Amino acid sequence: MKVSCLQENLAKGLSIVSRAVASRSTLPVLGNVLIATDQGRLKLAATNLELAVTCWIGAKVDEDGATTVPARVLSDFINSLPPERIDMELNVKTQTLHLKCARYDANIKGIDATEFPIIPSIGDGKKISLEPETLREMIEQVTFAAATDESRPVLTGVVTKFEKDKVTFAAADGFRLSVRHATLSTPIDQPISAIVPAKALQEVGRVSGDQEDPIEMAVTENKSQVLFKLTNIEIVSQLIDGVFPDFTRIIPESHATRTVVNTSELQNAVKASSVFAREAMNTVRVQIAPSGEMGAGKMTMTAASAESGDNVGDIDATVDGEPVEIAFNARYLADVLNVLHAPQVAIETSGSSSPGVIKAVNRDDFTHVIMPMHLGK
């Protein structure tokens, strides 16, 4: 293999595939990145057997070939190079990759590319076309609610449902639920539903920043894998096998109080309370007082820590319904407010031990449910 490319392109390509590199695997080749010529371009790929990311970069190919080299060594070296042309040549016998850039030279010891797992690609099966901006927002608004601990594997995934021109993403970690709907520009004929690991979707979100054309998504026939095809990037992930709990049942159908506040004011109040809440299981107490003769409605947030002290913060609120006293995990509130992208937020509650529902005002495509904190003695 003999190939040349630009340092910026290689560095960017490596950062795209890097998250799929297995960090501590018993299989050494999984810690490597595959470098292969592919129809006049250079293909980079990494996989940890659950997630595989492949990326193509522009290159001048003098001689076809492939190898794998330790991902960390390669990226650290490439990132230290000047933004110039890199010439690479593989010594097939020793599987040593020689790199030359400006006045830098390196030889990196690799492992034969035949040992690298074959990354599945999806043929001409049924593809779903997704607008990149919408998909990115869906990913952002839903994946954070997925579980990070593996005790209930299905909850580390995002349930994705496609039917006609409707798409729904939902994730829940047992304490909160995020649901986002959107419309497909190209309707599909067969409904599809799959549980995609939240981590895989987060990768799609991370690498799709420059994407302008629609992103194609496809689920394999046997429903074991999902593929996301971007311009020059492909992400393949195992699907999570299992039954996702029926999340529609936990979205309350009614509420006793609806409170509308300014999103950024609420974000600030939550941030201030977090200072004290973090030593108290992140507990913030929320008191909502409807407007009355005494003036406008308000929402009061308090947090107290036995060690560091306490705080109170007030924000104006438009309250419709009963007064409310409820406690939430401050981090959960901050998480959802961060992804709301709306100037005003509505909080619907029905008592201190019933779930709170958070929505963007004037938007009905996003629903977030948070279970309250139960206050001890």
Q: Is 250 in the site for another protein (CB under 8 A)?
A: yes
Beta bridge partners of 183: 166
Interface with another protein in residues 28-87 (CB under 8 A) = none
Q: CA neighbours within 13 Å on the CB side: how many for 333?
A: 31
If one asks whether residue 21 binds another protein (CB under 8 A), the answer comes out as: no
- Closest distance to another protein from the beta carbon of 353 (Å): 7
Residue 65 neighbours by CB distance under 10 Å? 18
CA distance 209 to 136: 8
Q: CA dist 51 to 195, 234, 267, 319, Å?
A: 14, 11, 34, 46
**Whose CA is closest to 196, among 241, 151, 150?**
241
Helix (H) or strand (E) holding 290: none
Q: Of the two residues 82 and 174, which places its CB atom closer to another protein in the complex?
A: 174
Is residue 353 a contact residue for another protein (CB under 8 A)?
yes
Site string for another protein, 286-325 (x = CB under 8 A): ----------------------------------------
Phi–psi pair at 346, nearest 5 degrees = -110, 135
Q: Tell the smallest beta-carbon distance from residue 280 to another protein (Å).
A: 7
Task: Determine if 177 is a binding residue for another protein (CB under 8 A).
Answer: yes
Shortest CB 223 distance to another protein, Å? 23
d(CA 291, CA 297): 4
Write the DSSP symbol of residue 50. S
User: Considering beta carbons, is residue 57 or 277 the nearer one to another protein?
Assistant: 277
Least distance from another protein to the Cβ atom of residue 328, Å: 9
Lateral strand order in the sheet of 225-230: 66-70, 32-38, 41-47, 51-58, 233-238, 225-230, 215-219, 128-130
Where residue 341 falls (left for φ over 0; alpha for ψ -120 to 50; beta otherwise) is left
Q: Which helix (H) or strand (E) holds 128?
A: strand 128-130
How far apart CA 14 and CA 235 sit, in angstroms, is: 14
Q: Based on the shown chain and the rule CB under 8 A, indicate whether residue 369 belongs to the binding site for another protein.
A: yes
Q: How far is the CB of 188 from another protein (least distance, A)?
A: 28
Shortest spacing between CB 51 and another protein, in angstroms: 18
DSSP string covering 96-121, please?
EEEEEETTEEEEEE-B-GGGSPPPP-
| Total of chain residues touching another protein, rule CB under 8 A | 30
Please name the helix (run of DSSP H) or strand (run of DSSP E) that holds residue 367, with its range, or none. strand 366-370
Backbone angles phi, psi at 274, to 5 degrees: -60, -30
- Residue 53 or 370: the one with the smaller Cβ distance to another protein is 370
Using CB under 8 A as the binding rule, whether residue 246 contacts another protein is answered as yes
Residue among 117, 153, 205, 245 that touches another protein (CB under 8 A): 245
Residue 377 found at the interface with another protein (CB under 8 A): yes
Here's the x/- map for another protein, 109-148, by CB under 8 A: it reads as --------------------------------------xx
Q: Is 283 in the site for another protein (CB under 8 A)?
A: yes
Q: Check residue 173 for interaction with another protein (CB under 8 A).
A: yes
What is the rounded CA–CA span in Å between residue 77 and residue 91? 19
Q: Which stretch binds another protein (CB under 8 A): 1-9, 173-181, 212-220, 359-367?
A: 173-181
Residue 9 or 329 having the CB closest to another protein = 329
Nearer to another protein, 87 or 279 (CB): 279
Q: Give 177 or 346: the residue with its C-beta nearer to another protein.
A: 177
Residues engaged in binding another protein (CB under 8 A): 147-151, 172-177, 245-246, 249-250, 280-281, 283, 327, 329, 353, 355, 369, 371-377
